[in-house]
Amino acid sequence: MSLSVLTLVRGRERHLANLMRSLGEQSCLPKELVIAWMQPEPFEDLPSLPFPVKHVFVEGEDLPLAKARNAAANAASGDTLMFLDVDCIASPTVVESYSAALNEHDGICLSEVLYLPAEVAAFEGDYGVLDELGKPHVSKPRFPEFGRVEQEPDGGQLWGLSFALRKSTWQAIGGMDERFVGYGGEETDFAASAEQAGVKTYRVGGARVYHQHHPVLIPPLHNFDPILRNARLFQEKHGRWCMGYWLGQFREAGLIRWEEDGDALDVLRFPNPTEIEAARQPGTVLYS
C-alpha cells in the first residue's frame, strides 16, 4: 500500500522543518507529503525531500482544521493516509509501522506520542535524545512493542497528532465535518462517526512520534469561543458532550453554566485578557 503523509500548517515554521527532516529519514519512505496551508503563502527554503511535496491552500480566518484535513485527503494520491500534526517529529519507523498495520487491519491506527520539553528546539537526528526527554501523556494508554498491533476498545482515544487509515475507509466515514471550525472537537466527532460506522481502532507499536513544545494555556482560554461552539455542535449530533475536561475547567473558573448529563451550555461571562495571559504555563508544562 502507498502512504501519503498529510499535515496542516499555520505558523510553526521551525516545527514544520523538523517534521519534514524526520520524514526524509524514514525506514520506508512515504509516497508524498501533502501540506494543507491555512495561511496565504508557504514558507520559503523548506527542507528538500526524496519524494514529492504537494501544496493545497485552505481559506478561513478561524482555524479550518476539518476543512484542511479534507482538502489534504482529497489531494493525496496514496491509498493510505497518515495525518501528522505540524508539531510532531516522526520516529524512523512510523511509515513502516503504519503501513504494515494497515495491510492487516482496516481501521484507524494510532501512534504513541511523547511530549518534548521546551529546550528541544532543533532536530539534530538523534532519536535517542528524543526518547530520553519525551514524556507520554498521563491519560493515554500504553502502546505495544515494535511490530505489534493491539485493538483499542475506546475509539475516542483518537487524537489528531498522529493517526492513519486507508483512504477508502476515510471516504466511507465521510471525512471530517467542516462545520467544526476553530480549535477542538473535530477529531472526536470523526472518531464517533467512525465508531458508528463499525470502524475499529488500533494502537500500533513502532509508530512513535514526538510532540515539539509550544506554549500551553490551562485552561485553554484563548480558544474559549471555538471550544464552546464545537462542543455544542458535538452534543447536538451525538447526544453527549466532548471536551468535558476543558468545559469543567471553564465552569470552575466561573465562565459557564454546564452539567455533564444535561444539554445546556450557557456563558456567564467571557475571559478577559488578564485571565487569558495568567493561564499561560511555564515551559515545563508539556500539555494541557
Tens of pLDDT, residues 25-55 = 999 999 999 999 999 999 999 999 999 999 9
* 1 pLDDT more than 90: no
285 located within any domain: no
Q: Are residues 70 and 123 in the same domain?
A: yes
* pLDDT for the residue numbered 122: 74
* 62 pLDDT more than 90: no
71 located within any domain: yes
State whether the Cα torsion 13-272-185-236 is positive or negative.
Answer: negative
Write the CATH number for 60. 3.90.550.10
Asked if 2 contacts 69 with a C-beta cutoff of 8 angstroms, the reply is no
For residue 62, give its domain range. Answer: 3-211
The SS3 assignment for 262 reads coil
Q: Are residues 110 and 8 in the same domain?
A: yes
Q: Are residues 17 and 142 in the same domain?
A: yes
Q: CA triplet 63, 265, 159: central angle to 5 degrees?
A: 40
Residue type, 91: S
Average pLDDT in the 79-85 region?
A: 98
Asked if 180 contacts 82 with a C-beta cutoff of 8 angstroms, the reply is no
The SS3 assignment for 283 reads coil
45 located within any domain: yes
Q: Are residues 230 and 203 in the same domain?
A: no
Average pLDDT in the 118-132 region?
A: 86
* pLDDT for the residue numbered 175: 97
Q: Are residues 68 and 194 in the same domain?
A: yes
Q: Are residues 105 and 243 in the same domain?
A: no
Asked if 96 contacts 5 with a C-beta cutoff of 8 angstroms, the reply is no
207 located within any domain: yes
Say how far apart CA 162 and CA 159 lie, in whole Å: 7
Residue 20's alpha-carbon distances to 16, 33, 44, 87, 196, in angstroms, are 6, 9, 13, 11, 34
Q: Are residues 173 and 242 in the same domain?
A: no
Q: Cell numbers for 124, please give them.
A: 539534530
The band of 225, judged by pLDDT with boundaries at 50, 70 and 90, is very high
Q: Are residues 160 and 79 in the same domain?
A: yes
Asked if 145 contacts 162 with a C-beta cutoff of 8 angstroms, the reply is no
Q: Are residues 231 and 204 in the same domain?
A: no
Parallel, antiparallel, or unpaired: how do β-strands 265-267 and 256-258 relate? antiparallel
Q: Are residues 9 and 145 in the same domain?
A: yes
Total count of domains within the chain: 2
Q: Are residues 66 and 193 in the same domain?
A: yes
**Residues contacting residue 142 through CB under 8 Å, at least 6 positions apart:** none
* pLDDT for the residue numbered 249: 96
Block residue for cell numbers 481501521: 107
189 located within any domain: yes
Pick from 152, 179, 211: which residue ends a domain?
211
Percent of the chain residues topping a pLDDT of 90: 89
- For residues 25, 29, 32 and 37, what is the CA-based torsion angle, rounded to 10 degrees? -30
**Residues contacting residue 250 through CB under 8 Å, at least 6 positions apart:** 219, 221, 224, 227, 228, 256, 258
288 located within any domain: no
Pick from 185, 211, 237: which residue ends a domain?
211
Q: Are residues 69 and 188 in the same domain?
A: yes
The SS3 assignment for 257 reads strand
